[in-house]
Structure formats: C-alpha cells, structure tokens
C-alpha cells in the first residue's frame, strides 16, 4: 500500500507543480474520442479536439482525426493509419488549414509492474501557407500500478518529442502528467497538465495547458 501511495504522490506533485508554472498564461485543451471495435483485430477511432489560449478564453486551434488501428500482429504492438484535418487561427479574422495523414506504430508492455507504451508517428504536413513537411513524433507513456477509489483513478506521466525530418533536429517537446478515471465499462475520462516547449527563431517558447479527454469505446 505504501508503494501505491508513493506512485500517486509523485503524479500529484508533478501535476500541481506544472499548474504553478502556468499561472501567468495558460491554455485549455479538450478532446472527445470514440473508439469502435470492428472486430478483434481492427478498431476505428474518431477524435475531436479544441484548444483555447489567452488564459483559456479564445478558441485558436481545432482538429478532427480519424483512422484505423490494427491489433492482429501481437498483443504488444498496434499499427494505425489516420488522417487529421486542422484549423488554426492566423489572426482575428482568418483561419488556415492543414491536412495531416499519419502512420503510427505503438509498442506496449510492462516494466516492474508499470504499464509502458511507446508510440512512433510519421506524419506529412500539407500546410496552407508554409512549406509541406515530414515530421517524426515519439511519445513514451508510463502508467502507475494503482487504481484509487471506486472510479479507478490511475496516474500517468508521458513525454513526447517532435523531430523535423528535413532539418533532423528536435523542434518540440511535450511533458504530460495526469490521471485517467474509469467512469463506466466503456467510458474513460482523463485530466492532465501539459508543458510544451517549441523551438522558434532560435529560442524556445513554452505553453502550459490543462487538458481533458473523454473516451467512449464500443
């Protein structure tokens, strides 16, 4: 029991410290996921996400993402092919679009009772006012072996890097810390803190966000 409390304390401290960093300016990010099991090997997934900046008061970014996931190779690997349509506010009166197909390989397993996963993504960015771009992303997630209360609240941490395949350098890093809550057999709710650092004009700009994700599985 002491070990479980330690895992929970670590996640709470990371989430609390992260929110303190974002006191001056922050974002809200909310997403809805629907996963439909076609059969034992194939899933169809649809995701909608909305991002609000200016201390959470202005919608500036929205995307719709859909695709198929194949799970028939082995229990520890999944393959996914998706398409994402993005709208981003350029100024107060104009929105720009981006089309982004992406291919994903996710490895899953256990390490000392921790659930770990590693997602590698190759995406092609068809951008309206910038040069098109190939980009690689890798997200490593650790879920702690504790389920708290009847809601089965479970802490996790994750880190994601973004690599420009033309320049071959890291352009963005995201650190996540949060909890997942099982609301029903087919419903899960996540709340998390996100600290994002992006390279811009030789320097690094930070974004601090409070995010939520509601997932329905059928």
- Locate the domains of the chain by residue range: 2-217
**Phi, psi (rounded to 5 degrees) for 109:** -175, -170
According to DSSP, residue 47 is labeled E
Residue 178: CB atoms within 10 A of its CB come to 23
Buried b (16+ CB within 10 A) or exposed e, 126-160: eeeeeeebebebebebbbbebeeeeeebbbbbbeb
Q: Which residues lie closer than 8 Å to 202 by C-beta, 6 or more apart?
A: none
CA 162/CA 175 separation, integer angstroms: 12
pLDDT averaged over every residue in the chain: 88
| In contact, 53 and 206? CB cutoff 8 Å | no
Q: Which pLDDT value is given to residue 149? A: 74
**Phi, psi (rounded to 5 degrees) for 75:** -65, -20
Q: Which pLDDT value is given to residue 26? A: 82
Q: Which pLDDT value is given to residue 141? A: 98
The superfamily (CATH) of domain 2-217 is: monomeric porin ompg (2.40.160.40)
Q: Which pLDDT value is given to residue 9? A: 52
CA 163/CA 119 separation, integer angstroms: 14
Q: Which pLDDT value is given to residue 1? A: 43
Q: What residues of the chain score a pLDDT lower than 70?
A: 1-25, 92
């Amino acid at each position: 029991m002491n070990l479980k409390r330690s895992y929970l304390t670590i996640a709470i401290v990371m989430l609390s410290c992260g929110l303190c960093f974002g006191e001056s300016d922050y974002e809200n990010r909310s997403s809805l996921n629907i996963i439909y099991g076609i059969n034992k090997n194939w899933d169809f997934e649809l995701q909608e996400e909305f991002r609000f900046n200016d201390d959470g008061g202005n919608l500036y970014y929205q995307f719709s993402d859909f695709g198929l996931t194949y799970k028939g190779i082995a229990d520890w690997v999944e393959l996914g092919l998706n398409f994402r349509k993005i709208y981003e506010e350029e100024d107060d009166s104009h929105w720009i679009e981006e089309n982004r197909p992406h291919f994903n390989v996710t490895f899953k397993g256990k390490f000392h009772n921790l659930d770990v996963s590693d997602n590698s993504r190759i995406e092609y960015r068809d951008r309206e006012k910038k040069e098109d771009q190939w980009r690689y992303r890798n997200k490593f997630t650790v879920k702690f072996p504790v389920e708290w209360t009847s809601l089965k609240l479970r802490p996790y941490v994750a880190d994601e890097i973004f690599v420009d395949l033309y320049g071959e350098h890291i352009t963005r890093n995201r650190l996540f810390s949060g909890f997942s809550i099982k609301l029903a057999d087919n419903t899960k709710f996540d709340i998390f803190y996100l600290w994002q650092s992006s390279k811009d004009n030789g320097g690094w700009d930070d974004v601090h966000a409070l995010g939520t994700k509601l997932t329905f599985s059928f």
